[in-house]
Every structure is written in C-alpha cells, then in structure tokens.
C-alpha cells in the first residue's frame, strides 16, 4: 500500500510547527532568516531520525546522519508579487506512480535567476485552500537534486507580506516523500514549472 502525498506535503511544516515564525521579524536582518532556516533543517533531521512517522524506512534511520543541503544563499530568496489569474485553471498533475491529482493553477511569480527572467506557477489544491504549492524541476534535477523535482509550500502566516506579495525562498525547497521511500505516491511538477536555470538552494538529493 502506498501513502498518498498531497502537493502541500507535511514535511515542510515539521520544523515550522515548532518554530514561532513572524514575517516582519525574519526581515529585520539577514542573519535572522538564515538562522531560522538552519534551525529548521536541524529539526527536520531530528524528526527523520527519531519520529515514528519519519518517511525514512525504519532500517535506514539508525545510520541516518542528516539530509544534504546547499548553503543558505540570499540570492535565492525573493520578495515578489503573485500575479493571480482572473480565473484559476484546473490542472491534472501526474504522480510518481502514474496516478493523477487535481489542482488549481492560481497565479505566477516572475523572478530573475542568473540574469534570466523566470516564471513559476503557484497552485492550490482547492479554491478554499489558502496556502500555495510551488513544485518545480530545474537543471540540477537528476544531478545534484532529486530527479523528479522539489517543492515549496507557501503559508500565508509565514510567507505572505501583504495582499499580493510573498516570500519565495528556494532555500526552503524540499524533496517529496517519494525521494526517501517507494511507499509514497507524490505529485510531479507540471512541465510549466520545469525551469531552464539551476536552483542551487534548498535540499539536495537523498543518498542512501
């Protein structure tokens, strides 16, 4: 039996649930938001190693010594406007087990990476959902990062600055649960979010 992972997967909330986060506080100094990310990474490692609900197979937890990450880099952290679509479009997303999941394409961010303009689409699982799911692949996928792609989850309390501006921080990019075990079924980034630039930030590929 495979466990279904929604696009807004729980892994990104593991550390955030134990860390009091305020967008205004994290913007005071560079050290503050960087320190938060480093702390969240340590908390996630502890969860993976010790929690009974860890996505790691039980036989791998004993020798687990932490996930691999790129160094935290301010060049991959953006405060950017979400251009919401007038009419969010239903999108059928394929999964890692050839299944399908339904989402709404809610809007898009436009940023600049390595001198290139990059547009990335944000999704919601339903019109009532307030968080945004930003799945993506990039040119590191299958090389330094997980081949199927990575996710960002944007929570209003943590990432929304005002009505239309959000913090899009690729240092928080994380792997779907199927990167750690084939017990999981994970939605795959739609081709519209296959980026032609490297995102050298966030979680790297998991190596056993």
Domain ranges of the chain: 3-193
On whether the CB atoms of residues 100 and 131 are closer than 8 A, the answer is: no
Range list of H helices, the chain: 13-16, 23-26, 30-50, 58-61, 156-159
Structure tokens at 103: 């989402």
pLDDT for the residue numbered 31: 62
pLDDT for the residue numbered 3: 52
pTM check: above 0.85:
yes
Q: Are strands 116-124 and 100-113 parallel, antiparallel or unpaired?
A: antiparallel
pLDDT for the residue numbered 2: 47
Q: Are strands 3-4 and 184-185 parallel, antiparallel or unpaired?
A: parallel
Low-confidence ranges of the chain (pLDDT < 50): 1-2, 8-10, 15-29
Distance in angstroms (rounded) separating the CA atoms of residues 47 and 50:
5
Structure tokens at 71: 């160094």
On whether the CB atoms of residues 135 and 175 are closer than 8 A, the answer is: no
DSSP lists the bridge partners of residue 108 as 83, 121
Q: Which residues contact residue 82 at a Cβ distance below 8 angstroms, ignoring those fewer than 6 apart?
A: 106, 107, 108, 109, 122, 132, 164, 165, 166
On whether the CB atoms of residues 161 and 103 are closer than 8 A, the answer is: no
Alpha-carbon dihedral sign for residues 125, 43, 143, 181: negative
Distance in angstroms (rounded) separating the CA atoms of residues 190 and 91:
9
pLDDT for the residue numbered 42: 96
């Amino acid at each position: 039996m495979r466990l279904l992972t929604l696009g807004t997967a729980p892994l990104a909330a593991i550390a955030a649930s134990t860390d009091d986060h305020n967008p205004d506080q994290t913007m005071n100094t560079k050290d503050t938001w960087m320190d938060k990310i480093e702390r969240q990474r340590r908390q996630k490692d502890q969860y993976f190693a010790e929690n009974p609900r860890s996505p790691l197979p039980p036989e791998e937890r004993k020798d687990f010594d932490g996930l691999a990450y790129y160094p935290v880099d301010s060049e991959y952290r953006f405060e950017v406007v979400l251009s919401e679509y007038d009419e969010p479009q239903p999108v059928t997303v394929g999964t890692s087990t050839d299944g399908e999941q339904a989402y709404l394409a809610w809007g898009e961010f436009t940023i600049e990476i390595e001198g290139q303009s990059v547009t990335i689409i944000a999704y919601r699982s339903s019109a009532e959902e307030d968080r945004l799911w930003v799945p993506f692949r990039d040119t590191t996928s299958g090389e330094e990062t997980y081949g199927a792609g990575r996710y960002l989850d944007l929570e209003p309390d943590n990432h929304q600055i005002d009505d239309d501006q959000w913090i899009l921080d690729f240092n928080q990019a994380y792997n779907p649960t199927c990167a750690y075990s084939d017990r999981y079924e994970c939605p795959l980034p739609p081709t519209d979010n296959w980026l032609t630039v490297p995102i050298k930030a966030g979680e790297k590929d998991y190596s056993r």
